[in-house]
Each structure stands twice: as structure tokens, then as C-alpha cells.
Amino acid sequence: MEHQNHNTDSRKNKHLNFKERCLIELRLKDGNSPYKIAKELGRPINTVLNEIRRGTTTQIKQ
């Protein structure tokens, strides 16, 4: 039996990684809307909005 619809690249229920969180922070500082950021990341708008509300998008200066 072949699984023609099997997709190993599924991002469902995955966490945002550090790079994505940093990108959200930088894009917000540049004045981009959460909708535009979500489209750029290929993530649902609610994921980006939840991350913004959660306040976990702080970048550590090195």
C-alpha cells in the first residue's frame, strides 16, 4: 500500500524556533503587521499573535 498523501514536511503543532521569534521581534520594530509577518513565516496569524501577546519575543543582545 502506497501512502501518496504522506508529507514529512508537516509543521502542524510545532513550536516557533529562536530565529522565528527574533524575526517576529524585528519585523514588529520595523512596523510590519502581524498578518504580514505570519505570511512571511508561513505560519497561522494566531501563532504570531499568541507569541506577541505572550511577550516572549525578546532578543538577547550579545
Nearest-angstrom CA–CA distance, 26 and 5: 36
pTM > 0.85:
no
Nearest-angstrom CA–CA distance, 13 and 28: 23
Q: Is 51 exposed, middle or buried (0-12, 13-18, 19+ CB in 10 A)?
A: buried
pLDDT for 54: 87
Note down pLDDT in tens along the chain; length 62 residues: 566 666 566 556 578 999 999 999 999 999 999 999 999 999 999 999 999 998 754 566 66
Nearest-angstrom CA–CA distance, 25 and 60: 11
